[in-house]
Amino acid sequence: MALFNFWKKKSGPAETAAEESLASEAMPSATDAPPPSSETHEAAEATEAATSPEPAASADPEPAPVAQEPEAAPDQEPRKKGFFARMAERLSKTRERISGSIDRLTLGRKIDDELLDELEEVLVTADLGVKTATSLIEGLRGQVRRQELKDGEALKRALRAGIESVLSQAAPAPSRERNPHVIMVVGVNGVGKTTTIGKLAHYFSLQGRKVLLGACDTFRAAASEQLEVWAQRVNAPIVRQQAGADPSAVAFDSVEAALNRGRDLVIIDTAGRLHTKVNLMDELKKVHRVLGKRLEGAPHEVLLVLDATTGQNAISQAKLFNQAVPLDGIVLTKLDGTAKGGVVVAIAAELNLPILFVGLGEGIDDLKPFDPQDFAAAIF
Ligand SMILES: Nc1nc2c(ncn2[C@@H]2O[C@H](COP(=O)(O)OP(=O)(O)O)[C@@H](O)[C@H]2O)c(=O)[nH]1
Ligand SMILES: [Mg+2]
């Protein structure tokens, strides 16, 4: 039997922890859970690679679950505009790689077939992938021959329309109406899974969802401690066990806890070491299966997190993970500070999976639902 553990750090051996868990089977609710000890907090903070600007514990020791809700409504509109500006700013390297290169390429030149060949190369270098770049360029040739694209600006507008259409083809986001709705998050180490889960928890909390996190990356203690820091920041309960525990047992208990405590959104973190190794894939399959055993249809959404800075490698990662667990969508992280943002287009074109969110930084607000128009606008 696995254990529920809200805000508490397990450091004892498995047996002790399991006994404790049985003793504390009646789980404290998030609202009456004790505040984290400062010791737990320091340890967790250290593992978070200094990504947490203001962990709440010392300044604000009392969990205050309703405190987030009043923020939601007044926050939504101003954020939308501000976020677009922020996205445009954070995509500056990708924009420079794509839009800047086109400007240099077209300066004082006739838009002809030869120029299109060079543009194709630019797009490949910008990580759109050979297949996608070729098909976008082929789409432009007719217009160029008919001399409809007279200058660089017209060429950019046509290319932007082509990219928007590629980005808009993917399937829509899965419905999140179920209660509880279970999201399983997968991806290789370091792509940003745990950070993304923290941001998602924040995002959904602002929409009034009652989130619960499941720390199924039990490979290292630091992994669940990092998730716990996020749980505290977003004021969501977390189910975790000691390092080395069976991830599928934590997954089972997470759904169980959500059902018992009336939480309506469960987000499951998973391990990501060595995606080429069969055992990780087997572990993910088992977590997937066990979630479904506890709640029919769960997980209702499997999100693959990909790191934009890996460029085309992201595509092969997606294919591998999709063989193990059926993916419903992509979260593309670290689009800030990379010139490889063009991989968004390759992913949309080659994987037939919707890009649901993009990560634009390490902060709690640096996650945005993906919007093809906004994105295309930001890179041109
Ligand atoms: N710049 C940037 N860094 C990110 C983003 N998402 C995650 N990170 C950082 O990537 C590193 C690895 O993230 P983590 O969530 O631990 O990855 P995991 O191993 O997949 O769980 C951390 O330092 C994060 O702060 C993002 O969108 N932008
Ligand atoms: Mg992690």
Q: Phi first, then psi: give them for residue 280, nearest 5 degrees.
A: -65, -45
Residues 42, 43, 46, 47: what is their CA dihedral angle, to the nearest 10 degrees? -140
DSSP string, 184-225: EEE--TTSSHHHHHHHHHHHHHHTT--EEEEEE--SSHHHHH
The gap between the terminal CA atoms of the chain, to the nearest Å, is 54
The number of beta carbons lying within 10 Å of the beta carbon of residue 168 is 13
Could you tell which of 92, 194, 195 is best to mutate to test the pocket of ligand 1, judged by most ligand atoms within 8 Å of the CB? Answer: 195
Neighbours of ion ligand 2 (CB under 5 A): 193-194
* Pairing mode of beta strands 355-359, 367-369: antiparallel
User: Rounded to whole angstroms, how far apart are CA atoms 335 and 359?
Assistant: 6
Binning the chain into helix, strand and coil, the percentages to the nearest 5 are 50, 10, 35
> What atom of ligand 1 comes closest to residue 366's alpha carbon?
27
Rounded Cα distance, 305 and 285, in Å: 17
| Nearest to 215, CA basis, from 233, 228, 202 | 228
> CA-CA distance, 122 to 218, in Å (whole number)?
43
- Which of 362, 366, 367 should be mutated for ligand 1, with most atoms under 8 A from CB? 362
pLDDT string in tens for the chain (380-residue length): 333 433 333 333 333 333 223 223 233 333 333 333 322 333 333 333 333 333 333 333 333 322 233 333 334 444 555 767 888 888 999 999 999 999 999 999 999 999 999 999 999 988 999 999 999 999 999 999 999 998 999 999 999 999 999 998 877 888 999 999 999 999 999 999 999 999 999 999 999 999 999 999 998 889 999 999 999 999 999 999 999 999 999 999 999 999 999 999 999 999 997 645 668 899 999 999 999 999 999 999 999 999 999 988 999 999 999 999 999 999 999 999 898 899 999 998 888 899 999 999 999 999 999 999 999 999 98
- Residues within 6 Å of ligand 1 by CB: 49, 51, 187, 189-195, 272, 333-334, 336-337, 359-362, 366
Q: What is the pTM (predicted TM-score) of this model?
A: 0.79
CA-CA distances (angstroms) from residue 349 to 54, 135, 227? 39, 10, 32
261 Cβ contact list (under 8 Å, min separation 6): 27, 29, 30, 212, 237
Phi, psi at residue 88, to the nearest 5°?
-60, -40
Contact yes or no for 314/343 (Cβ under 8 A)? yes
- Ligand 1, atom 25, residue with closest C-alpha: 362
Atom of ligand 1 nearest to the CA of 226: 16
